[in-house]
Amino acid sequence: MARPQPKNTWVLVVSGLVALALVAGVVALDEVFAPMDAVIRVGALLGYLGVFVSSVSSNYMRELTRYFGRRFVKVHHAFSVTALVALAVHATTVAWRSGSLGAFVPQFSSLRLFLSLGGRPAFWLIAVAALTALLRASIGKGWKTVHWLNYLAFLLATAHAQLIGRNFQHLGVRIVSGLMAVVVVAVFVLRRRREALRARRRARS
């Protein structure tokens, strides 16, 4: 007999609405800006939040799927796709405004410049990770290792946001962003440590 699916998806809906409210609130903190600037900033914020949710939730897919049901997998994928699309809109609009495709090209002339423009390599890392997830059936178990690029991408995006992001010049936003980066690193390290301990126990048994 199939296990009934828990009806707790309202939590995910509320979380999505809170994320949208956060984006609207942060944008509202700024002075009046041109519509193109609004697209750039909203795209960056939605993409940033989407990568955060996708990165953290991917470490607990079994637990979250058990709690929310199989539908959570679709929600997780929706967050990932939405994040990638939002970041693509962000980068494309920046390129359109500058009149150059250089907005997609990482800069390596100095560490500070690389981090300041960290959104550029972050975009490509997220794209590779997303493509790997789609091809996981043919790639095999190795797709999970490549999928870890999402964590590096989030840290690069955080550096980019903290250094030159207009929305992230507010102290409260900077603090929250820093805490989000700490959470991503902590979740990744703790999850990998737990997996290593399980592997050792299986080897001993």
**pLDDT for residue 96:** 93
What is the Cα–Cα distance from 38 to 171, expressed in whole angstroms? 20
User: What DSSP string runs through 101-167?
Assistant: GGGGS---S-HHHHHHTTHHHHHHHHHHHHHHHHTHHHH-THHHHHHTHHHHHHHHHHHHHHHH-SG
- Half-sphere exposure in the Cβ direction for 9 (13 Å, CA): 11
**pLDDT for residue 72:** 64
User: What DSSP string runs through 35-56?
Assistant: HHHHHHHHHHHHHHHHHHHHHH
Q: Domains of the chain (ranges plus CATH)?
A: 9-162+170-204 (1.20.120)
CA angle 101, 43, 53 (to 5 degrees): 120
**pLDDT for residue 111:** 94
**pLDDT for residue 4:** 45
Q: CA quadruple 168, 173, 174, 180: dihedral positive or negative?
A: negative
Contact 119, 91 (CB under 8 A): yes
Contact 87, 123 (CB under 8 A): yes
Closest C-alpha among 60, 52, 61 to residue 79: 52
**pLDDT for residue 1:** 42
Residues 6+ apart with CB under 8 A from 164: 116, 117
Per-residue pLDDT of the chain (205 residues; tens, 9 = 90+): 444 444 444 545 555 555 556 666 666 556 556 778 888 888 888 888 888 888 887 777 676 677 666 666 677 777 788 888 999 999 999 999 988 888 899 999 999 999 999 999 999 998 888 787 777 667 666 666 777 888 999 999 999 999 998 778 777 778 888 888 888 898 888 888 887 887 787 777 7
**pLDDT for residue 2:** 45
Which pTM value belongs to this model? 0.79
